[in-house]
Structure 1
C-alpha cells in the first residue's frame, strides 16, 4: 500500500479554488430583504402597537397559541410568539395587512419549519 504523504500540503492550495464564494445566497437574500420597501411596515404602529396593531390582534385572536404545534404561552409580552403571514406577502400591501393571512406561531416553528418551507417555495 502506498502512503500519500505529499498530498496534505497541497490540499491547502486547492481549497480556495473549490470554496464557496464569499457572498453566499443566504447573505444576499438578507441584504435584499433589508432593502425592501415593505420592511418598514413591520415598524409601524399599525402593525405592532399593543391594543390596536395587527400583530397584537392576531396574537389575542389565536389565544397566544401556536397554530402549528399548539404551544401556549403565559407571557403577555408574547416575546416567544410571532405573528406570521400564512401566504408570503412579498411586498403586496393588501396581503400584508389581511388579518386572515396572519397566524400566531411560536418562535421555534416560525424560525424553523416555516422558514424552510418558504425557502423551498412550499408557502
Structure 2
C-alpha cells in the first residue's frame, strides 16, 4: 500500500510549503492525514494516507500533531 500511495502522489511531498519530488523511497514517509489511534479502518484507508518527505514528516507534521493534542 505504501508503494501505491507514493505512486499516486508521484513521489512528491504533499506538504503545501514543500512539494519536493524525491526518488529515494527511504526519504519518503507514508503518513496518515488523520491519526488512526488504533482504528483499523482509518489505518488501512488509502484516502487517509499521503506522501511526505522525511524532513516534513519529522518536523512540521509532528509539531502540528503535538499542538493538536
Runs of 4+ in 1 over 2 A off after TM superposition: none
For 1:1-123, list aligned pairs within 5 A: 54-68=1-15, 69-75=18-24, 78-121=25-68
Note the aligned Cα RMSD (angstroms).
1.1
Matched residue, 1:37? none
Kindly indicate which of the two structures has a greater share of residues assigned to helix: 1
**Relative contact order: is structure 1 or structure 2 higher (C-alpha 8 Å, sep ≥ 6)?**
2
* Structure 2: gaps (5+ residues): none
Q: CA deviation at 1:74?
A: 2.4
Q: CA deviation at 1:70?
A: 0.6
Using the size of structure 1 for normalisation, the TM-score is 0.53
Using the size of structure 2 for normalisation, the TM-score is 0.92
* Structure 1: gaps (5+ residues): 1-53
Q: CA deviation at 1:96?
A: 0.3
Kindly indicate which of the two structures has a greater share of residues assigned to strand: 2
